[in-house]
Amino acid sequence: MKLLCLLIFIITLPLSVMAKDISVSYQIISSDKSLTSEAKNNVTLFLKEIDVKGRHNVSYWRKRIIKQCTSALQAIGYYAATFNITTDKSAYKFDAIIDIRLGQPTLLTSATFVLQGSGQQDPTFLALKNSFALIKGAKINHGQFEDNKAAFAILALEQGYFDGKWLRSEVKVNIKQNNAQLVGLLNVLSAHNGVAYYYCVRIRNLT
């Protein structure tokens, strides 16, 4: 019995060691000096989501870095960004240098937001609509787009609207031409003295 326990310990030990978390460090640079603090902060935030174990190889790690960097930069309107990744791996330590070139920002060639229904002339809704930063010529920012929609939901509750819906809400991104179009059509109804929101956002990558 003692011999069996000893053998189990010897066999399973390497597996537990291989599953051990390893030390990971990232150095984010920009050789062309294009990197903004906004972009660097967002990339740093997305990189923190990478969970690397000892059993993962450099190839897996690089793919995760590429995915997270791409998502982080596209979220704030840099679809044309490129980056070069240099990696180094030792026993339980991964180091990466990420050289980011932002490229030209992805701008909105059109931004249409329409209020319709019995509440379309409500001055509180009109004021919020006019405060939106996402207008033609602005850099697309998916976080701002979601914040804008959330602001309408909060305002609707504050004003006592509980019935209505988004008839259309989408962002179209043309990666080849590096531009985007935003469309929002909000039906503001007064039935039951209210507005309820149904969000459906589609991001299309047109090539």
Q: Which residues of the chain are in CATH 3.10.20.310 domains?
A: 19-101, 107-206
Identify the pLDDT of residue 201.
Answer: 38
φ/ψ region of 175 (left if φ > 0, alpha if ψ in -120 to 50, else beta) reads alpha
- For Cα atoms 36, 146, 43, give the angle at the middle one, nearest 5 degrees: 30
Q: Note the pLDDT of residue 82.
A: 96
Q: What is the pLDDT of residue 42?
A: 97
At 20 the pLDDT is 56
For the chain, what is the radius of gyration of the CA atoms? 24
> Tell me, what DSSP letter sits at residue 117?
S
| CB-CB contact of 28 with 101 (8 Å) | no
- Distances in Å between the Cα of 123 and the Cα atoms of 85, 148, 159, 176 are 51, 17, 11, 39
CATH architecture of 19-101: Roll (3.10)
The reported pLDDT for the residue numbered 191 is: 40
The answer to whether 106 and 79 have CB atoms below 8 angstroms apart is yes
Tokens of 191: 């039935």
pLDDT tens-place values along the chain, 207 residues long: 444 444 333 333 333 333 456 788 999 999 999 999 999 999 999 999 998 776 668 888 899 999 999 999 999 999 999 999 998 877 678 899 999 999 999 999 998 888 777 667 888 888 888 888 788 999 999 998 888 888 887 887 777 777 666 777 788 999 999 999 988 776 665 544 434 333 333 444 444
- 138 DSSP 8-state letter: S
In Å, how far are 49, 92, 178 from 19, measured between CA atoms? 18, 11, 42
Q: What is the structure's pLDDT at 159?
A: 77
Q: Residue 170: which H helix or E strand, with range?
A: strand 164-174
In this predicted structure, what is the pLDDT of residue 63? 92
State pTM to two decimals. 0.76
CATH topology for 107-206 is Ubiquitin-like (UB roll) (3.10.20)
Distance in angstroms (rounded) separating the CA atoms of residues 195 and 197: 7
Residue 148, by phi and psi: left (phi above 0), alpha (psi -120 to 50) or beta? alpha
pLDDT at position 199 is 36
